[in-house]
Chain A
Amino acid sequence: MKKCIITVVGKDTVGIIAKVCTYLAERNVNILDISQTIVDGYFNMMAIVDVTNAKDEVLTMAKELEEVGKTVGVMIHCQREEIFEKMHRL
């Protein structure tokens, strides 16, 4: 399974998760785990997604998600899981 980590940080507003999830569903990306909190009005979300059968390359999705983020005023990062796995697991 090829996984990516999506993180969203920014000022809270209506429909951030909806935007992200719609985008992911359209690319056939499955969400494995998702969590979200609000700290002092700041939206903070992390999702682990399965991109094995995604219609687009990770590279393309990372760029497009960044753009999606800009439309709602938040920062969205989509990174391959390995960078976290390598750093935090032996």
Chain B
Amino acid sequence: MINRYEVYETNQMIEQENLDVRTITLGISLLDCVDSDIEKLNEKIYNKITTVAKDLVSTGAAIEQEFGIPIVNKRISITPISLVGGAACKTSADYVMIAKTLDAAAKKVGVNFIGGYSALVSKSMTAGDKLLIQSIPEALSCTERVCSSINVGSTKTGINMDAVRLCGEIVKATAEATKENDSLGCAKLVVFCNAPDDNPFMAGAFLGVTEGDAVINVGVSGPGVVKHAIEKARGKDFEKLCEIIKKTAFKITRVGQLVAGEASKRLGVPFGIVDLSLAPTPAIGDSVAEILEEIGLERVGAPGTTAALAMLNDQVKKGGVMASSYVGGLSGAFIPVSEDQGMIDAVKLGALNLEKLEAMTCVCSVGLDMIAIPGKTEAATISGIIADEMAIGMVNQKTTAVRLIPVIGKDVGDTAEFGGLLGYAPIIPVNEFDCSTFVNRRGRIPAPIHSFKN
């Protein structure tokens, strides 16, 4: 039978170390809503989402109360809208109408984000894909809860550089369109390489075409729990340190698996995956950076950071995999700057820069995330940064992503405020040497060779 110490340990994790389930994300396929009439399409989308997801928020709240585990977000991911809207949308304005429908549906069912205003263009773009991508600045400025993503590359197809070039312009235009709120629109826009079909985390969540009609995916969290656990390993060797991280990750993930199973049973929707993630928040003691510092770095960004992060990421996966029947999504430690107090502090102190962040993304999920850059940064430079990050994903057969926020009207030394879970971020300097000749070449970077791996 469960003993007092076990109960105490679990409740301490929840009450003092910020253990929570970060998100229950209900994936809903919209493929059966496809219609060539835009009015009918919008109606079908609204009806499907508000029917399938009507009990999502109340079910999440009930599980939260019964098990005593906070479930921070209840969210929805949908089929990429470029596929759903392709037949009906003749202009970018038509796509914006769908974005407004999604926003209304999200508000009706009470979820804080709906992800899947997306296009998958890793090899090439259809006319519909292009219209959707061009509609993103307006769609994100006139809606509140819609999240957008674009997959511009993969290990199998290479990198679509035409899409990368366009994305640089779109990120910049989205920043302009939402400049009143520190370019907040860009916090809801992710550019991917090797985007997963079952990611429960925003802003990059969408329901891939390989998925079923509806699915429950769960993202767990708990950097604070890992940080606290490894305090016991100060001065110990790597073997002991790794053991503690693995065991802690196992415990955290089991909670995610339990919640996923319950949500699936109660909603009558199949369970998909648990995303084994360490997702920080701006709250004190909920930071991935603090784990790295506890491992032995004065500040994140110091030499040794990449190695420490690689080890952390791997141990989290090793512990988590056994705790869940199905693992997927992004799975790994997240390193968003604005959402992690330790990362914010490191940037302020000059310990962490964009280049080191890029190196860190080689060994963890997911990429250059929630990084505020000067508003004057050229679109071509943003495309160059995106291309670099996509190349890391393509060559290493992993998911990488870019969520940069060029904060219009602000420069290095200023701070951007996004509010809530999105946090705040000091503006980070960007290498200003020109890359436009490279970015302006047409076509795509070919897929890498899959042998001779050195």
Q: What is the number of contacts between chain A and chain B, taking CB atoms within 8 Å?
A: 55
The bracket for how many chain B residues form the interface is 10 to 19
In the assembled complex, which residues on chain A have CB atoms less than 8 Å from the CB atom of B6?
84, 87-88
A1-43 interface mask toward B, CB cutoff 8 Å, 1 = contact, 0 = none?
0000101000000000000000000000000110100000000
Shortest beta-carbon distance from B269 to chain A in Å: 20
Chain A interface residue count, Cβ-Cβ cutoff 8 angstroms: 23
Bound complex: CA A81 to CA B62 (Å)? 15
Bound complex: CA A88 to CA B2 (Å)? 8
In the assembled complex, which residues on chain A have CB atoms less than 8 Å from the CB atom of B255?
83, 86-87
Contact in complex: A84, B66 (CB < 8 Å) = no
In the complex, whether B365 has a CB less than 8 A from a CB of chain A is: no
Shortest beta-carbon distance from B206 to chain A in Å: 29
In the assembled complex, which residues on chain B have CB atoms less than 8 Å from the CB atom of A85?
2
Interface set, chain B 41-93, CB cutoff 8 A to A? 62, 65-69
Contact in complex: A77, B2 (CB < 8 Å) = no
Contact in complex: B67, A83 (CB < 8 Å) = yes
Contact in complex: A62, B68 (CB < 8 Å) = yes
Contact in complex: A59, B2 (CB < 8 Å) = no
In the assembled complex, which residues on chain B have CB atoms less than 8 Å from the CB atom of A84?
2, 6-7, 10
17 pairs across A/B with beta carbons < 8 Å?
Answer: A32-B1, A46-B7, A59-B66, A62-B66, A63-B65, A79-B68, A81-B2, A82-B67, A83-B68, A83-B69, A83-B255, A84-B6, A85-B2, A86-B254, A86-B255, A87-B254, A88-B6
The residues of B with any CB-CB pair to A shorter than 8 Å are 1-2, 4, 6-7, 9-11, 62, 65-69, 251, 254-255, 257-258
Q: Taking A32-B1, A48-B2, A80-B67 as given, write out 7 further A-B residue pairs in contact, using a Cβ cutoff of 8 Å, ordered by the A residue number.
A: A62-B65, A77-B11, A80-B66, A83-B68, A85-B2, A87-B10, A87-B251
